[in-house]
A and B are shown apart, each in its own frame.
Chain A
Amino acid sequence: MSMSQGGGRDRRGLVRSPQNLAAGLSLVFLAALALWLTRGLSQGHLNAMGPGMLPDWLAYGVGLCGLALLVAAFVKDGEPLEAWSLRGPLFVVVAILAFAVTIRPFSFGPISIPGLGMIVAGPLAIIIGGYAAPEAQLRPLLVLAFGLTPFCMVLFGDLLNLPIPIFPQSLAGLMPDGWSQKTILRVLAALMAVVAVVIHFAGGRRKDGRDGKIDVATQPEEI
């Protein structure tokens, strides 16, 4: 949410446009980073442009724009910097990472996660990601996760035959021998869908419930 109440117009502080200041700084930083990363590349000459020539020119251009913005930040009035929220980006990024490390076998240094497939990665992404919203509630997220994931499993794994891992192979070992991959997939999807329905209806009528007031009014014990 924006914190601009007095607005940018009346600012008489040193920095007249915090947004431009931040923008300019980030551009200059980016330009410096690019120049540093390409420091080893040869520039070449015009009739044989080296790999470093264009990136360097571009970095200078970006840096120049950044400097211009910095100047503008002190000279011209502009927008203030909006507040950053931590919850949203944090949960979304964790959800994406959770999906990425569980969909296929993943190893990073000493940690090694076996591939768990969409059946785990999907719900993880939905549930963790869902908590990025302030008004998140577990039950609707669970229903969504257990309802949407089987749909994706059937659509991508069965109908479209995508080479995307759906369930861990070890899980298939638990199933009776002789069941084909597709059958296992369908059975698992059906199971998940049933779980979703159960969770949805086991919630009773107080699905959106924060309606404390109404409850209080009708409960005879309160009187």
Chain B
Amino acid sequence: MKKIALTLAAGLALAATGAQAQGNYPQRPITMIVPFAAGGPTDVIARIVGDHMSRTLGQQIVIENVAGAGGTTGITRGAQSQPDGYTIMMGHMGTHGAAPALYPNLKYDPAKDFAPIGLAAGTPIVIVAKKDFPANDLKGFLDYMKANADKVNMAHAGVGSVSHSTGIFFNSVIKAKPTMVAYRGTGPALNDLMANTVDYMTDQIVNVAPQILGGNIKAFAIATPERSPALPNVPTTKEAGLPDYQVSAWNAVFAPKGTSPEIVAKLNDALVKALDDEGTRKRLLDLGGVIPSKEERTPAALQKLVESEVARWTPVLKAAGASAE
């Protein structure tokens, strides 16, 4: 009993001062919140990058999975934690781009409530279709869509998922209104795509590449400026005639607003070193990930990206009436 009282007193007293020695940051393990379940693309990227960052910083980066509400639960927690550099988070295009449009009661502002650290890796989006789809390239696909608009189904992994947001964007670019079929996650969606039950989907390369290479589904285009080494035979949307569709599910590291610039610099430095390391690069590239260039890795570049992404996604998603209301 006495022990508890002592601890409580000490805790309350010291919590009030909240001082942290900044000179020797980091002095203990750092928690990186991943707002998705373990095993998914963002989680894997966080672990790969975090593994190397641990070595540079000299303290372990512990991944804490706080999944829920399309990632916003974990990010909300991260945004509200102490800006002492010991809690950071891995956000992505959904949590820091599409979320304001999808979740009206969002408890954070992606552009204002964070101290951006830097981009980690992006996963390009691929337009895929069932094997029996009556078209063999993007142009054929678009022609078929124009002629048979009301017979086509598009699969997605649920409101708030990458395949959902990018799919809506795709439909708005090609001005189509297919029937949307929701799944609980990419796995079941891919399953039905392979069973020829649904017609097409837009999803991250890491999820769809194995099935494309295995010949179970067709790929029409990849929405990045250059072809991906993981899928050398898939043309880019620019080559295939749809240059307006450029989107990548980027992942980035954030710290809560108010984190000191020295800590931000240290974290960014560790992140950049991780992205330069041969071993880390190989693992990311094997996933089909896209590693940001040197200019894209700065905190300032990330801040600009967040602002432009929010500006891009909000009208698109609101127009489609998509919202988690």
Q: Are A and B in direct contact (Cβ within 8 Å)?
A: yes
Is B29 engaged at the interface, CB distance under 8 Å to the other chain? yes
Report if B63 contacts A (CB, 8 A): yes
Known: A114-B15, A163-B63, A181-B29. A170 touches B8 (CB 8 A): no
Question: Inside 8 A of A169's CB, which chain B residues have their CB?
Answer: 14
Interface flags, B29-62, vs A, CB<8A=1, else 0? 1010000000000000000000000000000001
Residue A174 interfacial (CB < 8 Å): yes
CB-CB < 8 A to B151: which residues of A? Answer: none
Check if B12 is an interface residue, CB within 8 A of chain A.
yes
Q: Does A195 interact with chain B (Cβ within 8 Å)?
A: yes
Interface string of A138-156 (1 = CB under 8 A from B): 0000100000000000000
Task: Tell whether, in the assembled complex, residue B11 and residue A114 are in contact, meaning their CB atoms are under 8 Å apart.
Answer: yes
Partner of A163, one of B4, B12, B14, B64: B64
Contact segment of A11-19, A29-37, A88-96, A117-125: A117-125
B308 within 8 A of partner (CB): no
* Complex contacts, A123 vs chain B, CB 8 Å: 4
Please tell me if the beta carbons of B4 and A171 are within 8 angstroms of each other in the complex. Answer: no
Which positions in B face A, CB cutoff 8 Å?
Answer: 1, 3-4, 7-8, 10-15, 28-29, 31, 62-64
B208–chain A nearest beta-carbon distance, Å: 27
Chain A positions within 8 Å of B31 at CB level = 163
A residues in contact (CB < 8 Å) with B? 114, 116, 119-120, 123-124, 142, 161, 163, 167-174, 180-181, 192, 195
- From known contacts A114-B12, A170-B15, infer whether A180 and B7 are also in contact, taking CB-CB under 8 Å: no
Given that A163-B63, A180-B28, A181-B28 are contacting pairs, would A119 and B7 also be in contact in the complex, using a CB cutoff of 8 Å? yes
Question: In the complex, what distance in Å separates the CA atom of A163 from the CA atom of B3?
Answer: 24
On chain B, the residues within 8 Å of A173 by CB distance are 14
Please name 11 pairs of A and B residues whose Cβ atoms are closer than 8 Å in the assembled complex, sorted by A. A114-B12, A116-B7, A120-B4, A123-B4, A124-B4, A163-B31, A168-B7, A169-B14, A170-B15, A172-B28, A174-B10
**Residue among B1, B8, B11, B63 with most chain A CB within 10 A:** B11
**Which residue of the partner chain, among A124, A142, A161, A168, contacts B11 with CB atoms under 8 Å?**
A168
Question: Would you call B7 and A171 a contact (CB within 8 A)?
Answer: yes
Is B62 a contact of A161 with CB atoms below 8 Å?
Answer: yes
Number of interchain pairs (Cβ within 8 Å): 40
Candidates A120, A142, A181; contact of B7 at CB < 8 Å = A120
Contact partners of A163 in chain B: CB under 8 A? 31, 62-64
A170 CB contact (under 8 Å) in B3, B11, B64: B11
Shortest CB distance B35–A (Å): 14
Q: What B residues does A119 contact at CB under 8 A?
A: 7
What CA separation (Å) do A181 and B62 show in the bound complex? 13
A116 touches B10 (CB 8 A): no
Min CB gap B179→A, angstroms: 8
A116: B residues at CB distance < 8 A: 7-8, 11
A161: chain B residues at CB < 8 Å are 62
- A residues near B64, Cβ cutoff 8 Å: 163
Select B14's contact among A120, A170, A181, A192, beta carbons within 8 Å. A170
Q: What is the bound-complex CA distance between A172 and B28, given in angstroms? A: 10
B15: A residues at CB distance < 8 A: 114, 168, 170
CA distance A114 to B11 in the complex (A): 7
Instruction: State the 6 A-B residue pairs at the shortest beta-carbon distance, nearest first.
Output: A170-B14, A163-B64, A168-B11, A114-B15, A170-B11, A181-B28
Give A172 to B20 CA distance when docked, in angstroms: 12
Q: How far is it, in angstroms, between the C-alpha of A173 and the C-alpha of B1 when the chains are bound? A: 21
A171–B8 CA distance with the chains assembled, in angstroms: 9
- Tell me if B10 and A195 are in contact (CB < 8 A): no
Q: Which residue of B lies closest to A142 (CB)?
A: B1
What's the minimum C-beta distance from B21 to chain A, rounded to whole angstroms?
9
Shortest CB distance B135–A (Å): 26
Task: Choose from B3, B14, B28 the contact partner of A195 (Cβ within 8 Å).
Answer: B3
A212 to B165 CA separation, bound complex (whole angstroms): 74
Residues of chain B with a CB closer than 8 A to A142's CB: 1
Q: With A120-B4, A195-B3 in contact, do A171 and B28 touch (Cβ < 8 Å)? A: no
Q: How far apart sit A124 and B4, CA to CA, in the bound complex (Å)?
A: 9
User: In the complex, what residues of B have CB within 8 A of residue A172's CB?
Assistant: 28
In angstroms, Cα B15 to Cα A102, docked, is 14
B218 to chain A, nearest CB (A): 27
Q: How far is the CB of A124 from chain B (nearest CB, A)?
A: 7
Q: Which of A124, A171, A181 contacts B10 (CB 8 A)?
A: A171
Report B-chain residues with C-beta under 8 Å of the C-beta of A192: 3
Q: A181-B28, A195-B3 are in contact. Are A171 and B62 (CB under 8 A)?
A: no
